[in-house]
Structure 1
């Protein structure tokens, strides 16, 4: 049976526009018949990947890069080895594994789509190209070279590649099934969009005696304020498999994922709103049943009057009630361990995030 590690967060954001749609408005969705604020899973995963690096949770060699500019990256790595004019060799190397390169206005071409590769794999690929430079420049890469390049491209040795997966449209056998699933965050309550009218004042005007400031720009920006429910789950067995059986790296990767998920905040319009608000509630479940989201706790929107301490506290109370209902109705042991800053959760609680993560690690070691 697979071991699932689930994350349930309640996070109250001040007025913000953390994740925008194509019109520049905050993303939203209908849920339970009411409009909710939404932060997309892609946005959340991007913030988590950046936190891996920015917070020093994982080493560069344990992470990957998602880019269309692989040719330029390899050119730089080969130049560091004293190899110049390697563009044709690089493009021929990628062509041997059916990764096409398109011309662009810049010096180097780019791949047809984003490639998600480990940093180690890119270094190894540069080594393969350097070792077979003459043959690749002449477009004569043999089966041995193709096999070596395949091994580099197909590697999922980076934690973020193993967690979030990879799809190569032209080489499906090199795809990586994600070990983690991340839900779109939705508000526990209904929301209305609000609009901020702003002016940018011109600091220098022709008539210095003019008492009326000169507005150099006028505009509006839409925003909202919401208490979000966030859910994610990691299949630990799949993570270990994706990392070629490296259980120790998988364990560190899982701990980094949990910590980064708690700390990561999207960057959308933060210069305008500075909504750097950490979660009010962190619940982590370790069990062997199946992934179980608790989003339906909020099918009926929460309202602030439900609890004397406000929306976040009301959301936590609703979450615990729903988790208890599911456990009793379906005979589940969700193994939920929590850190609650609202003072609402009834039952055992960790004193801080470090204690919570230690409890989770202990549960995994005991083979729950």
Structure 2
């Protein structure tokens, strides 16, 4: 069973998600340039809100390259020497299959782990302290011998495959079955694909419903202590921006979510609710201090279906051009496209449809589909998943 979320959200002057040149991201769609917000940016914005919508921080994961330092800090708190703890945890990470930079201790990519992971790594290193300390000492001896001969130096460590003895500990360290966000957004671990997690949620790049042209703001700044006799700008620059009405789409596979969180049906239910509210409220943070583009979606279409999924972006393949109310025209276009798909492909897989709109009333929407408030909108969707 899937929950689908379709949102229309208009932003004033903004640069929510920048490219490598600092410009708002764009894409060509339907032969026209559209404003774009990447799915990764939207997922991060939503993930940061999960704790505000019913999930405890202990039920969320951590993305980090600094697992070594976190575990070493725990060991230091237990009375171990900090320097030795760092070396032992470095060796411990490599023993369980993760290479880390020998100088910084950073793993070569971000690891997405549950919050107990650092504690479990510390426990593993504590348990194998003597063996890992010997590994560290042996490595230093080899390095000293190797330094006598000319050789190309490298700061990278090579991780070995974890031994059978270590597999049980790796399972605990990488366990994601209690981390709701890992279950929602998935995880890929290149060095040990056994611990990959298939995402329960799919998120599309947001696209503007209309054509856009990026603009720029020319600004100057003055030195408050500059003498009055020397008027001039002390800093000059430009900031790129655009304004756009975005179509946003995401879905949640409840069966996959249940598979990813097998031991706790209550966590599954709370994760689904938190996902809904977080995506509705998610706004990327790019340039917000200078532009404050803090808006809310004005049209919401939610669907609960047995199978399949419909991204409705093709409603805007031809750019919306109607003025003066671009949002009203986009909202009607979205609803009309959805109804056309239902008519042509059938709606036997649809269990519930809920539509909420702030502004002019939409035509062609049955009363039973209308939701007067956000809580009515979300509760209708969540209730339909249980019936």
> Same fold by TM-score, threshold 0.5 exceeded?
yes
2: CA distance, partners of 1:322 / 1:313 = 14
Alignment partner for residue 354 of structure 1, among 342, 363, 375? Answer: 375
Aligned to 1:208: 228
CA–CA distance in structure 2, aligned partners of residues 21 and 289 of structure 1: 35
Task: Report the counterpart of residue 72 of structure 2 in structure 1.
Answer: 75
User: SS where residue 116 of structure 1 aligns?
Assistant: strand
Query: Normalization by structure 1: what TM-score?
Result: 0.91
What is the match of residue 360 of structure 2? 343
Q: Distance in 1 between matches of 2:171 and 2:198?
A: 17
- Superposed CA deviations along residues 233-252 of structure 1, whole A, max 9, x for unmatched, are 11111011111242221111
Instruction: Give, in angstroms, the shift of residue 154 of structure 1.
Output: 4.2
For residue 303 of structure 1, give the secondary structure of its aligned residue in structure 2.
coil
Q: Which moved more, 1:357-366 or 1:31-40?
A: 357-366
Pick closer, same or farther for the CA change 1:172–1:145 going to 2, 3 Å.
closer
Q: Which residue of 2 aligns with 1:6?
A: 4
Aligned-residue offset at 1:142: 6.6
Deviations 1:5-52 (A, max 9, x none): 111000000110000000000000000111000000010111111112
User: Aligned-residue CA RMSD in angstroms?
Assistant: 1.9
2:159 is matched with: none
What stretches of structure 2 of length at least 5 have no aligned partner? 137-161
Q: Unpaired segments of 5 or more residues in structure 1?
A: none
Aligned to 1:22: 20
Q: CA offset at residue 148 of structure 1? A: 1.6
Query: Structure 2: how far apart are the matches of 1:322 and 1:111?
Result: 47
User: Match of 1:101, SS?
Assistant: coil
Alignment match of 2:186 (pick from 165, 172, 184): 165
Are residues 32 and 89 of structure 1, via their aligned partners in 2, closer, same or farther at CA, if it must alter by over 3 Å?
same
Structure of greater Rg: 2
Question: For 1:94 and 1:101, how far apart are their aligned partners in 2?
Answer: 7
Moved over 6 A (4+): none
Q: Which moved more, 1:113-122 or 1:289-298?
A: 113-122
Residue 57 to residue 215, structure 1, CA distance change in 2 (3 Å): farther
Alignment TM-score, normalising by the size of structure 2: 0.87
Paired residue secondary structure (2:354): strand
Alignment match, 1:93: 92
- Aligned pair partner of 1:185 in 198, 206, 216: 206
- Give the whole-Å Cα distance in 1 for the aligned partners of 2:88 and 2:259: 33
- Are 2:314 and 1:296 aligned? yes
User: Helix, strand or coil: the match of 1:45?
Assistant: helix
Q: How many residues align?
A: 354
Q: Does 2:238 correspond to 1:241?
A: no
